[in-house]
Amino acid sequence: MANSNVAVIPGGTGSVGRCLVPKLIDRGFKVAVTYLIPEEATALEDQIEIDEDRLIIRRVDATDADAVSAFFSEAAQGFGPINVMASLVGGWAGGRDVAETDGVRLDRMIDLNLKSAWNVTRAAIPLMADDWGRIILMGSKHAQDAPAGQAAYNMAKAGVLALARSVANELLETNTTCNALLPSVINTEATRSALPYADYVNWPQPKEIAEVINFLASEESKVINAGGVPVWGSALI
């Protein structure tokens, strides 16, 4: 497996990551994954079958730039240049109009969604492989729709989309592309719990999001660049 492609998946133990990582492993990737919740890391390790020399899994706070840089350096030193960096870090907090949103909530949404994307992208760029590379960030449909009651989240995700497009333009002369996914609310147990009265029937499933990322994380996706990729299906929110 010395010539395996390399994928780094920050936040890869969440619902989408647990669908994506096995797909990458099946394609022969060496994979480096970060987590925050130990139970999620254990669940992923129990789910997959992979030689220890093809997996790095570390507890890393993606809002900590130094910790992120150290993790990416470890991945590149252990596995080689990075072909795929798909950041799945993020979170939602809503229910407040602008006038009711305090600084703590604003900072949390910016840090968790935008700063994390900035940190992992900044760390990844110098380590991307020369032959082909794919940077994939997690934006949101709400970066465009900007629904009421969650301005801090909307702003953060709009920043992620702007980041992806900026990086794509910076890397036009390379073989690395950069795109942002724009899902609606993803149908996970956590989001159903947070929004118990929502109609989640048409929300995209984690496995459906993972399928799109899996394609973007391929040489065949080279014509998709600087995109805000819609992955909301028929969901209206």
- Residue 2: what pLDDT? 43
The residues of the chain scoring below 70 in pLDDT are 1-3, 187, 191-197, 199-200, 235-237
- pLDDT at residue 130, rounded to an integer: 98
pLDDT value at residue 103? 94
Least Cα distance to 224 among 125, 134, 162 occurs for 134
Whole-number Å distance between alpha carbons of 202 and 233: 7
Question: What is the C-alpha separation between 21 and 37, in angstroms, rounded?
Answer: 17
Res 1: pLDDT: 37
Q: Quick check: helix, strand or coil at residue 41?
A: helix
Phi then psi dihedrals of residue 132, to 5 deg:
-165, 145
- SS3 call for 204: coil
Which residues are bridge partners to 31 per DSSP?
Answer: 7, 55
Half-sphere exposure in the Cβ direction for 158 (13 Å, CA): 12
What's the pLDDT at 196? 66
Give the three-class secondary structure for 180.
strand
Give the pLDDT of residue 194.
64
CATH superfamily name and code, 6-231: NAD(P)-binding Rossmann-like Domain (3.40.50.720)
* DSSP-assigned letters across all residues of 58-89: EE--TT-HHHHHHHHHHHHHHH-SBSEEE---
Instruction: Assign 3-class secondary structure to 138-159.
Output: ECCCHHHHCCCCEHHHHHHHHH
Per-residue pLDDT tens over the stretch 115-130: 999 999 999 999 999 9
Choose among 85, 81, 89, 39: nearest CA to 60. 89
What DSSP state is assigned to residue 96?
A: B
Contacts of residue 19, defined as CB under 8 A and 6 or more positions apart, other chains included, come to: 206, 207, 209, 210
Distance CA 54, CA 21 (A): 12
Which H or E run contains 136? strand 133-138
| Radius of gyration of the chain, Cα coordinates, nearest whole angstrom | 17
Instruction: Quote the pLDDT of residue 3.
Output: 61
Please tell me the pTM assigned to this model.
0.94
